[in-house]
Amino acid sequence: MYGNASEKTRTKGCLHPIEVGMRTVKLSRSYTCRGIEFLSVPLYDTSGPYSDPAVTVDPERGIDPVRDRWNFNTGKTETCPETGAASSRGRIALRAKTGESITQLAYARNRVITPEMEYVAIRENQLLEAWIAGFSIGGKTFRPHTPEFVRDEVAAGRAIIPANINHPELEPMIIGRNFRVKINANIGNSALGSSIEEEVEKAVWACRWGADTVMDLSTGAGIHRTREWILRNSPVPVGTVPMYQALEKAEGVAENLTWELFRDTLVEQALQGVDYFTIHAGILQEHLPAAHRRTTGIVSRGGSIMARWIKAHNTENFLFTHFDEICDILGAYDIAISLGDALRPGCIADANDHAQFGELKVLGELTLRAWERDVQVMIEGPGHVPFNLVEENMRKQLELCHEAPFYTLGPLTTDIAAGYDHINSAIGGTLIAALGCSMLCYVTPKEHLGLPDRNDVREGVVAHKVAAHAADLAKGTPVAWLQDELMSRARYAFAWEDQFSLSIDPVKARELHSASMAASGQMEENPDYCTMCGPDFCSMKRSQGK
């Protein structure tokens, strides 16, 4: 898919039997950047085995369960025979033995470097250690990430590695503000559309364009089987909102939800291998009056369900009252908790209000409770926020949530961009990521209008890759700066193939260039101009005295 100039390469670890996949671009000529000559460059790659021509994936069998070969956690886990049938590939699910703590956070606190930690250290460096060490900007210097640094960031709670021990197909990745900014793509059939096969294809499709995680937000029939298929075929972490399935079990009636029903749903999904759960434990009785006064009320699906339940029973949110039990379940599989922002603003007028920040404070308290139980935590954030109020969101999140990674939906900086909300979200997303947000949830052009199709997913993913990359540049991330410098040198050299390979979406770049050339009747292979300015008005050409 990336063209012949790219190939899948794998790098072995030193501490563990891991192999880290990257996309290595062979350049058409050498480029010298800050004294280092590049003939090829490895790029961060989320596409898993799908972009490897040597691998044929059979979706019915799923992709290679690489983590099973790393042989970690030996002796600390046990099988769950009573629920083994849950897995389509016949693998019996695992959980921590009673008294054992197998989360990345627990290992990090015990100063152990797991295979996952070594994996992400290699992955984040992109084999560019020499470049990173030589890079400086605004007086700031950098060091390549070491497995020890990864461990320390996880131990501090500043980063998480969502990696359920029952998701062996996973290529580990890290979410934290001292690493590359990540993006999530939501998939999932709503009751009105799309088949399971389409959903699996959508998950794979999102990773191909650069999604670092996917959330399966299925709400229709066949919810268990959809998830199973996605997990067995997903090289990236899969998140869910277990409340959606719990509500289906309660036949769609929020009032009928019970803790037991929810708990059983958590276990069901844990055994399947879900890597992180969004749980709306922070919305409390005390917040409802403020939410009620808003212009658009509660716009989080999970949040609106819990608000209904709280009101109907006139009692506290059971996700809050049972929070420690939730953590104990999640810890046994190393599922990360993504604390849902039930009260995220749904319009500009509701941004940064008492309801929103009241809940954020509770999320900070829950963070400490999760950490006490060695459970990895991230915090979900808004939502609709005007550009000038975005900074306050990031600042308060850092203050109130003890530096746990922030994971935001946008923010969307206006309410009136229907049809273009992916752009709207990329605008707010760049700002909050540059300020320290660790992961952006994508928004597609169909947001507020309908269910995204394949093209919407691609547009949404790429728009947020632009945002994430722009934020990485703003933060001075050396590997990000290298890609831009190579791109610009290729641009100045009219090396079109290199430009395509180095673009966020190589396929689109090539397609638009070729179409323009063809439309203008120019069939030259590598012209030293493009049709935007034509051959006589190219400033780059003129600037080089050509």
Residues 218-257 that bind a copy of itself (CB under 8 A): 219-220, 244, 252, 254
User: Can you tell me which of 102, 223, 298, 394 binds a copy of itself, judged by CB under 8 A?
Assistant: 298
Binding footprint of a copy of itself, residue count (CB under 8 A): 109
Binders of a copy of itself among residues 380 to 399 (CB under 8 A) are: 384, 386-388
Q: Which helix (DSSP H) or strand (DSSP E) does residue 149 occupy?
A: helix 147-155
- Letters for 178-217 (x = contact with a copy of itself by CB under 8 A, - = none) are ------------xxxx------------------------
Question: Where in 344-363 is the site for a copy of itself (CB under 8 A)?
Answer: 346-349
Residue from 111, 321, 511, 526 binding a copy of itself (CB under 8 A): 511
- Closest approach of a copy of itself to the CB of residue 528, in Å: 14
What minimum distance in Å lies between the beta carbon of 254 and a copy of itself? Answer: 7
Report the residue number, 28 or 101, with the smaller CB distance to a copy of itself.
28
Give the number of other Cβ atoms within 10 Å of residue 525's Cβ. 7
DSSP classification of residue 156? T
The whole-angstrom separation of Cα 131 and Cα 375 is 35
Which of 120, 307 has the CB closer to a copy of itself? Answer: 307
Q: Contact letters (x/-) for a copy of itself, 526-545, by CB under 8 A?
A: ----xxxxxxxxxxx-xxxx
Name the minimum Å distance from CB 389 to a copy of itself.
8
Q: Which is nearer to a copy of itself, 150 or 417 (CB)?
A: 417
Q: How far is the CB of 454 from a copy of itself (least distance, A)?
A: 12
Q: From the CB of residue 501, how many other CB atoms can be counted at a distance below 10 Å? A: 28
From the list 50-58, 145-153, 262-270, 300-308, the region that binds a copy of itself by CB under 8 A is 300-308
Residues paired with residue 441 on neighbouring β-strands, in sequence order:
184, 409
Strands (E) across 82-158 are located at: 94-96, 136-137, 140-141
Pick the closer one to a copy of itself by CB: 17 or 450: 450
288 belongs to the binding site for a copy of itself (CB under 8 A):
no
Residues 355, 345: Cα–Cα separation, whole Å = 9
Residue 450 within binding range of a copy of itself, rule CB under 8 A: yes
Q: Looking at 73, 77, 408, 413, which residue binds a copy of itself (CB under 8 A)?
A: 413
Beta bridge partners of 26: 40
User: Two tokens at 98?
Assistant: 């009673």
Hey, what's the torsion of the CAs at 152, 441, 381, 366, to 10 degrees? -50
Residues 32-91 that bind a copy of itself (CB under 8 A): none
Among 66, 487, 494, 498, indicate the residue that binds a copy of itself (CB under 8 A): 487
Nearer to a copy of itself, 46 or 376 (CB): 46
Per CB under 8 A, which of residues 146..185 are in contact with a copy of itself?
none
Residue whose tokens read 């029939």: 221
129: burial class by Cβ within 10 Å (0-12, 13-18, 19+)? middle
* Of the residues 64, 354, 504, 528, which one makes contact with a copy of itself according to CB under 8 A: 504
Q: Nearer Cβ to a copy of itself, position 13 or 527? A: 527
Nearest residue (CB) to a copy of itself, 373 versus 446: 446
The region that residue 101 occupies, defined by phi over 0 for left and psi between -120 and 50 for alpha, beta otherwise, is: beta
**Distances, alpha carbon 87 to alpha carbons 310, 342, 402, 466, in Å:** 34, 31, 37, 36
Position 144 contacts a copy of itself (CB under 8 A)? no
CA dist., res. 411 & res. 343, Å (int): 14
**Burial class of residue 499 (count of CB atoms within 10 Å of its CB; 0-12, 13-18, 19+):** buried
Subset of 86-105 contacting a copy of itself (CB under 8 A): none
Q: Going by DSSP bridges, is the β-strand pair 136-137/140-141 parallel, antiparallel, or unpaired?
A: antiparallel
From candidates 28, 259, 414, 528, binder to a copy of itself by CB under 8 A: 414
Among 1, 39, 133, 418, binds a copy of itself (CB under 8 A): 418
Strands 276-279 and 238-240, how do they pair? parallel
Dihedral sign computed on CA atoms, order 474, 239, 505, 508: negative
In angstroms, give the least distance from the CB of 203 to a copy of itself: 18
Task: Give me the residues paired with residue 440 across strands.
Answer: 183, 408
Q: Tell me the chain's radius of gyration from C-alpha atoms.
A: 23
Interface with a copy of itself by CB under 8 A: which range of 94-102, 267-275, 298-306, 353-361?
A: 298-306
Pick the piece of the chain touching a copy of itself (CB under 8 A) from 10-18, 68-76, 326-334, 459-467. Answer: 459-467
The whole-angstrom separation of Cα 29 and Cα 331 is 50
Which residues between 428 and 447 bind a copy of itself (CB under 8 A)?
Answer: 428, 430-431, 434, 445-447
16 binds a copy of itself (CB under 8 A): no
Decide if 437 contacts 408 (C-beta within 8 A). yes
CA distances to 30, 175, 318, 436, 526 from 159, in Å? 36, 5, 27, 12, 44
Distance of CA 211 to the CA centre of its chain: 6
Q: How far apart are CA 24 and CA 426, in angstroms?
A: 27
Minimum distance of a copy of itself from residue 95's CB (angstroms):
30
User: Which residue lies nearer to a copy of itself by CB, 108 or 502?
Assistant: 502
